[in-house]
Amino acid sequence: MHFERAVVTGGAGFLGSHVCTELLRRGTHVVSVDDFRTGSPGNLRDVRDDPSFELLVADVAEPFDVPGTVDLVLHLACPASPADYLRMPVATLRTGGFGTLHALELALGKGARIVVASTSEVYGDPLEHPQRETYWGNVNPIGPRSVYDEAKRFAEALTAAFHTEHGARTGIVRIFNTYGRRMRAGDGRMIPTFLRQALAGETLTVHGDGHQTRSLCYVDDLVRGLLAMAESEHTGPVNLGNPDEITVLDVARLVIEVTGSRSGIRHVEPMVDDPRRRCPDIQLAQRLLGWRPRVSLRDGLRAMVDTADRALAR
């Protein structure tokens, strides 16, 4: 399916900037709506001079308008790193609530397909493993991480209601931890933190005993899955992530190996409400979208180290 003109909220962020690049490559005109609160103009370096790219600097939690036709809205705007959303708790809830409302109203008004980026964090600290879309989750509604988790749960409820009540062409994807080029060294997420530490020859800091697991998806795989969902008319939610589960300690060891670093590993205090296990069941994505990840963690880390972000070491 070909889209003529897409709106990407959060287009200046880590995932959003890769989505903009891929849509432009596929011949779609792109309008990125972003206020740069966690993204950066530098992420748009590859696309900003493309005549098919437009940038609207706006807070999606406030009403905004995109004149002209739009046939796809990808709603990605939201602080995603714990370090970011813990720093701006109320703004994160406003973005998840009002921001999602405005994105849905835009799509409904234009008759556009909309895909809303939700997260594996809606499963909280899961009691079911691996997590299927039918699992309702185990979230602390007033814990520090709730500003993100509950904002996304509300965003999902709102999206489902727009479909039921207004017939909006909605889709929800639950994105599991994704990594790749353009993550900020200081954004607090595990991969850029480990890479920065390894490249700088510093000790890698592992929270808790390091036996908690993560499942890490390379950004190119994720973008392919997101656009496959956009091209479908499925409402979801659909999990998008890499089901290869690995302990945090083994991630740290792999980063040291791939970077050729001589860094050691040090354990620090566990993070509050940090999930013990995290692994997507992606059978639904495989069946509905014919999608599954292709890039191993080792290859993804190598690509990140090679292409990128020697800047991470600074």
Smallest Cα–Cα separation from 13: which of 64, 91, 79, 62?
79
Minimum CB separation of residue 124 from ligand NAD in Å reads 13
* Helix, strand or coil, per DSSP, at residue 174: strand
* Helix, strand or coil, per DSSP, at residue 268: strand
Minimum CB separation of residue 218 from ligand NAD in Å reads 11
Query: Residue 34, interface with ligand NAD (CB under 6 A)?
Result: yes
Tell me if residue 148 is catalytic: yes
Looking at residue 114, the DSSP 8-state letter turns out to be E
Residue placing its CB nearer to ligand NAD in the complex, 140 or 202: 140
Residues in the interface with ligand NAD (CB under 6 A) total 28
Burial class from Cβ neighbours inside 10 Å (0-12, 13-18, 19+) for residue 49 reads exposed
Residue placing its CB nearer to ligand NAD in the complex, 242 or 259: 242
Query: Residue 139, interface with ligand NAD (CB under 6 A)?
Result: no
Minimum CB separation of residue 119 from ligand NAD in Å reads 4
Residue placing its CB nearer to ligand NAD in the complex, 187 or 250: 187
Query: Residue 150, interface with ligand NAD (CB under 6 A)?
Result: no
Spell out the residues 6+ positions from residue 139 whose beta carbon is closer than 8 angstroms to its own.
121, 122, 123, 124, 125, 146, 149, 150, 153
Q: Alpha carbon of 166 to those of 53, 108, 109, 159: distances in Å?
A: 30, 8, 11, 10
The answer to whether 98 and 85 are in contact (CB under 8 A) is no
Query: Residue 78, interface with ligand NAD (CB under 6 A)?
Result: yes
Binds ligand NAD by CB under 6 A, chosen from 21, 100, 119, 159 = 119
Q: Which 170-209 positions form the footprint of ligand NAD (CB under 6 A)?
A: 175, 177-178
What amino acid occupies position 130?
P
Rounded to whole angstroms, the Cα distance separating 80 from 146 reads 12
Minimum CB separation of residue 264 from ligand NAD in Å reads 27
Query: Residue 15, interface with ligand NAD (CB under 6 A)?
Result: yes
Of 85, 123, 135, 148, the active-site residue reads 148
Rounded to whole angstroms, the Cα distance separating 311 from 314 reads 5
Binds ligand NAD by CB under 6 A, chosen from 8, 16, 251, 305 = 16
Binds ligand NAD by CB under 6 A, chosen from 6, 70, 80, 195 = 80
Q: Alpha carbon of 256 to those of 75, 182, 202, 260: distances in Å?
A: 35, 20, 11, 6
Binding site for ligand NAD (CB under 6 A): 10, 12-16, 34-39, 59-61, 76-80, 84, 95, 99, 117, 119, 175, 177-178
Catalytic positions: 148
